[in-house]
Amino acid sequence: MNYFNKNKFSHGIIFHHFHDNKLHPKSQGSLSKTDLIKLIKFVGRKNILNADEYYDKFKKNLLRKNHICLTFDDGIKSQFDIATPILDEYKIKAFFFIFTSNFTQKKCLLELYRYFRNKYFKNIDDFYNLFFEILNKDLNTFYRKKKNKMELWKKQHSYFSLNDIKFRLVRDDYLSDDKYNIIMKKMFLLKNFTPQEHLKNLYMNKKNIIELYKKDHFIGLHSHSHHTDIKKLSFKNQFKEYKKCKSILEKILKNNNEIKTMSHPCGSYNANTFKVLENLDINLGFAAYGNTKEIFEKRKKNFSFQVPRIDHPLVIKMMNI
């Protein structure tokens, strides 16, 4: 299959997790070094623009449908350890979008939870069983109420098991953040899991980010605390989120006003987000594929902040057809 028969417009590819089965275990959707090389060859090295070229062509409106860029979200350490040596080998400069709460006292626990689920249980159902045992609540009424949402998720995410769906629903719609964190802490204790020693292997540190920057990769904003639905925040709070992210990154990189790009955490944004980004001198923002294809083709007003991206599992799926 030719990649560009399917994708008829310029876009970025989104990457998250990589595995080497040593420091970074395999997890849902993660890629190995070899997978990444295969993906680069499938898309075609000549079609992959370096971040600065992509940015310049974008500004001059010169992007063509076969112009692709590679983007890495969330400042995940396995990207630095596994993917960047491959980028070096193929001389590719990519975009790295970093959220910054991990450089403050209040760490983001998302990656930690993901790592714990993958590493400390025989399989994911094992994790779910213990989770529901600790929660110890009769959830039948809750599931009945959520029947429509469950049906919808089954349709949208055919790869989710019933347990995957139930867990996500309980986590997001039944429990408060605090209650969820309490259950996870209980599980940590039961499994003798000490979070502090793992954090450094899950997220990039300042030195890693400086190194990427010095290698001419583009460092961009991804908000401060990676709220899962930032469009629900007021203009003022969205501004705080992106302003703080920008200040912290500028301090790490020792530059001022050089950060011009961003990607939306969890693909969430609205008109307020665009105003915030304009205020912060951001020129290029990446969204996700689904909701931006038409906007891309029609080149509507706020297109600059909604450049489409394709999630890497979709590319892998195309490779295997």
Q: Which residues bind Zn ion (CB under 5 A)?
A: 73-74, 265
Q: Which is nearer to Zn ion, 110 or 295 (CB)?
A: 110
Tokens 């996870």 belong to residue: 184
Q: Which is nearer to Zn ion, 265 or 285 (CB)?
A: 265
Q: Residue 226 Cβ, how far from Zn ion at the closest point, in Å?
A: 6
Q: Residue 14 Cβ, how far from Zn ion at the closest point, in Å?
A: 9
Q: Which is nearer to Zn ion, 53 or 311 (CB)?
A: 311
Q: Which is nearer to Zn ion, 220 or 265 (CB)?
A: 265
Taking residue 208's Cβ as centre, other Cβ atoms within 10 Å add up to 18
Q: Residue 301 Cβ, how far from Zn ion at the closest point, in Å?
A: 25
Q: Residue 265 Cβ, how far from Zn ion at the closest point, in Å?
A: 4
Q: Which is nearer to Zn ion, 35 or 73 (CB)?
A: 73
Q: Residue 264 Cβ, how far from Zn ion at the closest point, in Å?
A: 8
Q: Which is nearer to Zn ion, 146 or 222 (CB)?
A: 222
Q: Residue 136 Cβ, how far from Zn ion at the closest point, in Å?
A: 32
